[in-house]
Structures are given as structure tokens and as C-alpha cells.
Chains A and B, each alone.
Chain A
Amino acid sequence: TAGITQAPTSQILAAGRSMTLRCTQDMRHNAMYWYRQDLGLGLRLIHYSNTAGTTGKGEVPDGYSVSRANTDDFPLTLASAVPSQTSVYFCASSLRPPGLAVYNEQFFGPGTRLTVL
């Protein structure tokens, strides 16, 4: 079982360019999440999706957009990248939406390291 896959593994991007980070899960999980991790700041939630067709904003959504056209895929798009978006991006999924179940472990992907110059 692959679990969660993310692509690319790493990327260097020129400021002002757009980019889509891909995330795919094969666990048929309802909820998916995007986090960014910066040195000294821990992980912060960017956007989430409780189920296919719905999305919501997390703690740091500005400059990012997401879509959830189906259960398996949850791409994260940077429309016009800026250097402050240099970070490691983690995609995660859970069987149920947050807050609706006691046992609702989040499974994380391996991450995408993005550098915006």
C-alpha cells in the first residue's frame, strides 16, 4: 500500500511563477490536509478538505489554493510564488473529518521541499 504520495520531492521555483504540488492517497480517506513546516515554527495548517467537493482554510491560507475534485487527490497551487513560501510542504489524510471521531489518525506523506528564489 502506497499510502500518501507527494510530487515533486523537491523543487526550485522562481518568484512569480506558479506551481502545483500534487498529493494522492490510496486509503479512501475522506479528509485531506496541507501543512507547511518552517524551521523553528513547527507544522502549520494551510488548507483542508473534509470530503470530496469541499475545502476550508487553515491557519496560513494566503497565497495558496486547493481543490478536491475526487477522494484521492488534493493538489495545492501557488499562483504566484514568493520567497516566504520557501518551506517543506506535507500532505496528510484521515479516514474521518477532524473532530468527528475519537480515533482519527492523520497519515502524512513524505513532503515536498520547495525553494522560491
Chain B
Amino acid sequence: DAKTTQPNSMESNEEEPVHLPCNHSTISGTDYIHWYRQLPSQGPEYVIHGLTSNVNNRMASLAIAEDRKSSTLILHRATLRDAAVYYCILRAMNYGGSQGNLIFGKGTKLSVKP
């Protein structure tokens, strides 16, 4: 079962920032927080990941709460192309076999209005 909780859907206006929340109250010390997104009719694509510190890359920023029980994916200026389902996923480290596999929940469907 997925160990994260996300809103089913969110709306944003184009060119405005978007904050996508994720709750993971049972996160363990070895869990990394990953975000993937899935554009319509495409396979998922990696967005960003982090452990404790906030992270930035060319696509987005990841803000992680001090107690690590929640995180927020930040899109600084939403574009129409950012309309997608965003998945917040916990990935355990330092395990063999299938324990480090991605477990996708239902994600948040982001709609971007022009």
C-alpha cells in the first residue's frame, strides 16, 4: 500500500506558483521522498527527490518539513504543460530485492488554467 496521502486534484492558473502537498506521517529514517509526474497518455517521469533538506532542480523545488512527516512540491510558474498527475512516493534505501521499488498511489491531478 502507498504510504503517502495527497489531495485528489488541484487547480492552478498559468504563470502562478503551485504548491502540491504530501503527507507521510509514518515515514522511516531511511525513506527518501520522490516525486514523479505523468502527463496525459505518457509514462511517468521523474521530477525530484530528497531526504531531509529542501531541494531544487530545473523542474521544481521540494520543501520537506523538519519532522519529515510532510513535504511540498513547488512549481514556481505553472505552464499548461505542467498539467499532469503528480505522485509523491517514499522509497526505502539500503534494501535489496523489491523493497526499494516505487509504490505509486493515486497522486494529485493538477489542472492548469490559461
Which residues of A does B touch, CB under 8 Å?
A: 4, 33, 35, 40-45, 48, 50, 56-59, 90, 92, 97-100, 102-111
B49-107 residues with Cβ-Cβ distance < 8 A to A are 49, 51, 87, 91-107
Q: Are A90 and B44 in contact, with the CB atoms below 8 A?
A: yes
Set of chain B residues within 8 Å of A58, measured between Cβ atoms: 98, 101
Q: What are 10 A-to-B residue pairs whose CB atoms are below 8 Å?
A: A4-B43, A41-B106, A42-B105, A43-B44, A56-B97, A58-B101, A98-B91, A98-B100, A99-B101, A100-B94
Minimal beta-carbon separation of A84 from chain B (angstroms): 19
12 extra interface residue pairs, beta carbon distance < 8 Å, beyond A33-B101, A106-B46: A35-B104, A42-B87, A43-B102, A45-B102, A90-B44, A97-B96, A98-B101, A105-B46, A107-B46, A109-B43, A110-B43, A111-B42
Main SS of chain B's interface residues? loop
> Do A100 and B101 form a contact, CB below 8 Å, given A106-B46, A109-B43?
no
